[in-house]
Structure 1
């Protein structure tokens, strides 16, 4: 009951929906989700969108967003994007990223040069078109939505090529993709939802032990792809590991451990001669997941802790996560959602106020002001909806 009363008091004092969010020095909050907008939507709704408590967003081009389709994208499909983007006048949203998928169809082959020429051309086209909107960088999503490109066992030539041979090819392709990104955008900033944060548990293994483990992992080829990207990146390029694991955090310690994993432990995943470059050009990001904290996830809601919380407790949990995500990130936190929509004013009660409170405290150098552990512990003992 004490926690709930505190939650009510904090919510009562919270700013209104359109309040100007404080800007913590060097810390940026970026929106992304199933409500990902196109340039056309931004053109029609930008003034209202910029009232939300973000410093930018991830958007997709109407003409396409998957660079890995293995066939050339048609520039004509992007005519609307190219017409609209130059005229967008951003004020609050200073840090916007264009979405680029890396999700190939069945039939994808790491050794197929023809496919890779198409992928490189697609990557250049997507970034070149987006540049008209003065974007901050590229959000590269490597998750396979069709073919499992990172799983060695699923590769069509796995019987003809060893895992080591695939690793070499994948590293080369990573280098090619980075060069393609930087052709229209020199010194590109690449935001990924995860890369090295997915593999820090392998960081202290010997090279032989790591290779043996990665060969069996469904993401096992991805570390070498990132190494190739980093290897070919220009000195001004940078990579942000968005640490998607932070979706599920319930304590501040987890944020600090993740930061250490990305900035220190994961250095061992790159060759020794590249570690200084890693230190200079790889940053730790953090993630937020609205559905996880606000009882929006489906199916089987009984699995999720937020269904055992009051609305006020959910808002406190999200404020906690927003605060510590901003506190520990090098610069960027991305806020992900699915079953809601920021731009259609379909948000759970207390969400926006929780973000504004956390941002204000970070901006003013103030402590969070409460411990989330008792709330998490109490909720874990309840049945779903049993508060």
Structure 2
């Protein structure tokens, strides 16, 4: 019986030795998350803070990260999208802020049962992911809380 207990204990100890807990990261996210240009212009200031990453925003002209605001996206030109993508590609890597995220918001003016609106939304998400990749972000921060009155899709 003692040998079974000892064997089980060694197996559990080995499993705990092999497992590495995920490293915790401190990411700056607030209503004052910078647009990509502002972040680029003030990178050294952001690197003075104690964060591992920061959330970046698309400009208002490039959709502002409001992926469900399909009427607003219709006003975004291909030139503006390309300029935002080029700007994101021009960001230099930071040795301090290694875990940046692009923030997307949940306010909505779309018809949730419209295939056409969903196609537009998919296009916007793909564009945002392209910008995040170009900016070398670790991923997307999804903020489902709608801040615009009358644009709450969760009611």
TM range (shorter): 0.7 to 0.9
User: Could you tell me how far apart the structure 1 residues matched to 2:89 and 2:151 are?
Assistant: 35
Structure with larger RCO (C-alpha < 8 A, sep 6+): 2
What's 2:37 paired with?
40
What's 2:27 paired with?
30
User: Could you tell me how far apart the structure 1 residues matched to 2:32 and 2:151 are?
Assistant: 24
User: Could you tell me how far apart the structure 2 residues matched to 1:149 and 1:125 are?
Assistant: 22
User: Could you tell me how far apart the structure 2 residues matched to 1:83 and 1:111 are?
Assistant: 34
What's 1:82 paired with?
85
Decide whether aligned partners of structure 1 residues 120 and 127 sit closer, same or farther in structure 2, where only a CA change above 3 A counts.
same
Deviation string for 1:90-123 (max 9, x for gaps)? 1110111101112112xx3221111111111111
What's 2:10 paired with?
none
Q: Is the 8 A contact 2:99 2:138 kept in 1?
A: yes
What's 1:50 paired with?
47
Contiguous gaps of at least 5 residues in structure 2: 1-21
Coordinate RMSD, CA, aligned: 1.7
Q: Is the 8 A contact 1:61 1:130 kept in 2?
A: no
Q: Give matches, 1:3-18, under 5 Å.
A: none
What's 1:113 paired with?
115
- Aligned residues, how many? 125
Deviation at 1:148, TM superposition (A): 2.5
User: Could you tell me how far apart the structure 1 residues matched to 2:111 and 2:151 are?
Assistant: 10
Question: Normalized against structure 2, the TM-score is what?
Answer: 0.73
User: Could you tell me how far apart the structure 2 residues matched to 1:129 and 1:76 are?
Assistant: 14
Deviation at 1:82, TM superposition (A): 2.0
Q: Give matches, 1:1-387, under 5 Å.
A: 26-62=23-59, 63-64=62-63, 65-71=65-71, 72=73, 73-88=76-91, 89-105=93-109, 108-144=110-146, 145=148, 146-151=150-155
Q: Is the 8 A contact 1:67 1:101 kept in 2?
A: yes
Contiguous gaps of at least 5 residues in structure 1: 1-24, 152-387
Q: What SS does structure 2 have at the residue aligned with 1:67?
A: strand
Deviation at 1:130, TM superposition (A): 2.2
User: Could you tell me how far apart the structure 2 residues matched to 1:118 and 1:31 are?
Assistant: 30
Decide whether aligned partners of structure 1 residues 123 and 74 sit closer, same or farther in structure 2, where only a CA change above 3 A counts.
farther
Q: Is the 8 A contact 2:36 2:58 kept in 1?
A: yes
**Structure 1 segments (4+ residues) deviating >4 Å:** none
User: Could you tell me how far apart the structure 2 residues matched to 1:58 and 1:75 are?
Assistant: 24
Decide whether aligned partners of structure 1 residues 99 and 149 sit closer, same or farther in structure 2, where only a CA change above 3 A counts.
same
